[in-house]
Amino acid sequence: MGNPTRRAVIAGSAGLISALGAFRSTILAADMDPKHMKDPVIIEVALNGAAPIPNNPNVPRTPREVTEDALECIAAGASIIHSHTNDPVVGGGTGRHDPAPLIDAWAPVLDKHPDVLFYPTMQGGGRETTITDRASHMQTLIDEGLMRFALIDMGTTNVSVLGIDGLPVKTDAVFINTAADAHYMFDFCARNRVGASIGCIEPGYARTVMAFSRVGKVPQGSMFRLMFGGPSTLVGLPATEAALDVFLGMIKEAGLPWNVAVTGGNVFDNRFARLALERGGHLRVGLEDYRSTDGPRNAELVERATKLAAELGRPVATPAETAEILGLPRVQPPEAKSPGERQHP
């Protein structure tokens, strides 16, 4: 029958393990804020960015490819689409983006899904350009009736990655967005009655946003885009619970929706996407940010996000629900064109 003392020790150990398991479940349940667990999840997909085709042949580059990819992602559950053209973002160029490829890519999608929110990129600043030039393509897209959601990046950041020697790659690349640029873009959004994806790469960015928020300058219909850095990306905080807590503590007072993205990494790694959803946040996925050994399509990453949301009991927001959650103004600018007036292939 065995040693009674040994049996008692084993029974005691089992009881301790069970108690620890229950304690862990209690802690996890506390992290899953119950007031958010039925809230719809907004899924944004960043289709391409500067990701070169050799890294993944599924990255859409041409307007037709962007159109087809966007439609796949919307079918999978995305309601916000972010896309680039081949114009540079950091250094080089004039700062002006040609809106024509974006019009060609977005218009066929919006004719089928008019509530979907598209927003483009914008080149960083510098002596060779002005904020007026850098934002000119967005004004055209708004005037064409294609854009209700702009972007505002709130600060300046060195852009580098780890080299094979473990040191930062030697580069002078800087993504420049000044305080004057922020003033211009907040006024731009207010004037055009559009919301904005407000990018926060570093904690100082969040402090700048909050200064505008406290005096009522953040445009209606906006959300925070909290950008974390992947393993080899020397930009932003790492994608950890502690880093997320830093941002959430800073932006809580604003009361705006927020999503998370991991540049040069995988937002699903280390349960980071799950953590964001448990905290009441939303997700940005897509091949602009994604780096891993596999080569998924954008729609596959959206599907993974919808599956995770379902596991946590949170429905996925439709495009119309997304606009409602953000509180986007319902009335488009007077000069906006109806779908029938737009010209596209």
Q: What is the mean pLDDT of residues 287-313?
A: 94
CA nearest neighbour of 250 among 210, 201, 222: 210
Q: What is the mean pLDDT of residues 57-69?
A: 94
Q: What is the mean pLDDT of residues 256-275?
A: 96
pLDDT reading at 199 higher than 60: yes
Place of tokens 């927003």: 119
Please name the residues in contact with 69: beta carbons below 8 A apart, sequence gap of 6 or more. 47, 60, 297, 298, 299
Any idea what DSSP says for residue 235? S
Domain layout of the chain by residue ranges = 1-31, 35-341
- The partner residues of 287 in beta bridges, in order of sequence, read none
The pLDDT value recorded for residue 34 is 65
The pLDDT value recorded for residue 87 is 76
Residues 82 and 70: their CA atoms lie apart, in Å, by: 9
Q: What is the mean pLDDT of residues 209-219?
A: 97
pLDDT reading at 300 higher than 70: yes
CA nearest neighbour of 318 among 96, 17, 117, 122: 117
Q: What is the DSSP string of 323-339?
A: HHHHT--SSPPTTPPPG
**Cross-sheet strand order for the sheet of 80-82:** 117-119, 80-82, 43-46, 282-285, 258-263, 223-229, 195-200, 149-153
The pLDDT value recorded for residue 292 is 79
Residues in the chain: 345
For residue 260, which phi and psi values (nearest 5 degrees)?
-120, 150
pLDDT reading at 233 higher than 60: yes
CATH number at 35-341: 3.20.20.70
More confident residue, 4 or 33: 33
Is the alpha carbon torsion for 228, 135, 77, 29 positive or negative? positive
Q: What is the pLDDT of residues 124-163, one digit of tens each?
A: 888 889 999 999 999 999 999 999 999 999 999 998 889 9
The pLDDT value recorded for residue 53 is 60
Where are any strands of DSSP class E within 176-270? 195-200, 223-229, 258-263
Which of 7-11, 128-132, 321-325 is most confident?
A: 321-325
Is the alpha carbon torsion for 140, 146, 148, 150 positive or negative? negative
CA nearest neighbour of 320 among 29, 40, 15: 40
Residues 60 and 105: their CA atoms lie apart, in Å, by: 11
Q: Which two tokens stand for residue 33?
A: 């804020």
Q: What is the pLDDT of residues 38-47, one digit of tens each?
A: 899 999 999 9
Task: Report the first-to-last Cα separation within the chain, whole angstroms.
Answer: 83
Structural contact between residues 301 and 72, judged by C-beta atoms closer than 8 angstroms? no
Q: pLDDT confidence of 59, banded at 50, 70, 90?
A: very high
CA nearest neighbour of 233 among 186, 317, 169: 169
| Cα separations in angstroms, 114 against 111, 193, 257, 333 | 6, 17, 22, 15
Q: What share of the chain is helix, strand, coil (3-state, %, to 5)?
A: 40, 15, 45
Place of tokens 């429905």: 315
pLDDT reading at 27 higher than 70: no
| Cα separations in angstroms, 250 against 92, 146, 255 | 34, 32, 11
